[in-house]
Amino acid sequence: MSKTIVIKFGTSTLTQGTKSLSRPAMLELVKQIAQLHQQQYRVIVVTSGAVAAGRDYLGHRELPPTIASKQLLAAVGQSQLIQVWESLFGIYGIHIGQMLLTRADLEDRERFLNARDTLNALLDQHIIPVINENDAVATAEIKVGDNDNLSALVAILAQAEQLYLLTDQEGLFDSDPRSNPNAKRLAVVEKITPEIRQIAGGAVSGLGTGGMFTKITAAEIATRSGVETLIAAGSRSNVLLELAAGQEIGTRFLVQADRLEGRKQWLFAAPQAGSVVVDQGAEQALLQHKSLLPVGVQNVEGEFTRGEVIKIFNQNGKAIALGIARYSSEALRKIKGKKSQEIETLLGYEFGSVAVHSDEMVVY
C-alpha cells in the first residue's frame, strides 16, 4: 500500500507574502506533488487562500468587517482558487477533485464515513483531492476553526501516514527567529508539552487565520492518532520531495500513539459534549486500557446524551481520555460511584455494565 500524505498550504505560502495568489510559487509546489504522484504516493491537498483570492478578484474593495463579508470573499474566491489549482495540475495531466468540509461533516459518525468514502474513491482513481473549509456557509458553530486543524482531521479521515504543514517559517524554533537571530530550530519534537505550546506563541501571518500555535494544536491532534506531522517552509526549494525522502528539514513531530482504528480516530473530530471526573482506581484502569465503570466516576459535568463524546479527567484536572458515553449525563449522575450490578435497579434499565467501553475510548 502506497503512503498517504496530507499537505496543507497556508495563505502565506500561496501568496508569498503578497496580496495575490502567486502562480509561480504554486506551480513549483504542483511540480513536486506531480513527482510524488508519479512515485505512487497518495497525496491530499488542504488549501487556504480562498478569502485572499476573493479579495484580489474584487480589486481589494472595502467591505464591512463582518462574517458575511468574509463569507462573501470565500464564496467568490473559492472558485478562483480551485481554477488556479486545476489549471496548474492540468499541466502535468493530473485531475483534481474539490471537497469543501465543515466540522458538521466530521463530527457526525455517518457523515465522517461518507467523507472518507469520497476521499478514498478519489485517491483510488488517482485524482488528487483539494480540500478547503466551506467558509461560504460555515458559522462559528460548525467551523473547524482554521485549515491547520482541518488538515489534521483530514489526515485522520484519510488514515494518512504523514501530515505536512507548510508555512512561512523553517519550522518551530526555541524562540521567535524574527526577533532573535540566535533562535535554534527544533529538528524533532518527541512530545508536545506546555513548554512547546508556549514557544509557539500566537498567530503570525496577516493574511491567514493560523499561526505557529494552531500548527502545534494540529500536530497534537494528528500525532495522537498515529499521524507523523512535519512543519516546514513552503518557499524552500523541493521542500515536499525532501520531506517525503525523510531529509532532516523543518520540525518533525513524532507520533504519540499507534495508528488507531477508524472509530477511535473519529473521536478526535467529534465535539465533546461534556466530561466526567474519575477516581484514582479508575484512572489506573483506563491507563491499562480497561473500560470505565460507573463506580469509578466521581463527578459528571455538562449535559450529554448516550452516544455523545465526553472527555475524562482525573482528580487533578488532567484530561486522560476521550470516549463515547454509554449513558446520558442524567443517568450517569444517578449511577456514579455505584456498582455495575446496581444500574438496572437505579435506572429501571441498563445499556451494559460500563460507562465508557474501552473499544470506544482513546487514552492520552
**Domain region containing 311:** 264-363
* Cβ(329)–Cβ(302) below 8 Å: yes
> Residue 339, annotated ligand binder?
no
Report in angstroms the alpha-carbon separations of 156 from 66, 107, 249.
32, 12, 23
Phi–psi pair at 222, nearest 5 degrees? -70, -45
Is 253 known to sit in a ligand binding site? no
pLDDT by residue, tens only, the chain of 364 residues: 589 999 999 888 999 889 899 999 999 999 999 999 999 999 999 998 898 999 999 998 888 888 888 888 888 999 999 999 999 999 999 999 999 887 777 767 678 778 888 998 999 999 999 998 776 555 544 345 578 888 988 998 888 999 999 988 899 998 877 778 888 999 999 988 888 888 887 444 433 334 788 899 889 888 888 899 999 999 999 999 999 999 999 999 998 766 655 556 667 666 678 999 999 999 999 988 899 999 999 999 999 988 888 999 999 998 888 888 989 999 999 999 999 999 999 999 988 899 998 878 888 7
Strand 309-313 and strand 272-278: the pairing is: parallel
The total number of structural domains that make up the chain: 2
147 is in an annotated binding site: yes
Q: What's the pLDDT score for residue 143?
A: 47
Q: Are residues 245 and 149 in the same domain?
A: yes
Question: For residue 146, what is the domain's CATH number?
Answer: 3.40.1160.10
215 is in an annotated binding site: yes
Dihedral over Cα of 38, 39, 42, 45: its sign: negative
3-state SS of 161-192 is CEEEEEECCCCCECCCCCCCCCCCECCEECCC
Cα(83)–Cα(79) distance, integer angstroms: 6
Number of DSSP helices (H) and strands (E) in the chain, helices first: 14, 13
- Whether residues 114 and 180 share a domain: the answer is yes
The answer to whether the annotation marks 135 as part of a ligand binding site is: yes
Is 175 within any annotated ligand binding site? no
Residues 284 and 239 in one domain: no
Last residue of a domain, one of 234, 257, 280: 257
Say if residue 139 carries a ligand binding annotation: no
SS (H, E, C) 242-284: HHHCCCCCCEEECCCCCCCCHHHHHHHHCCEEEEEEECHHHHH
212 is in an annotated binding site: yes
pTM of the model: 0.75
If we measure between CA atoms, which residue out of 213, 216, 223, 320 comes closest to residue 265?
223
Residue 246 to residue 103: CA distance in whole angstroms: 32
Specify whether 228 is located in the same domain as 282. Answer: no
Find the CATH number of the domain harbouring 347.
2.30.130.10
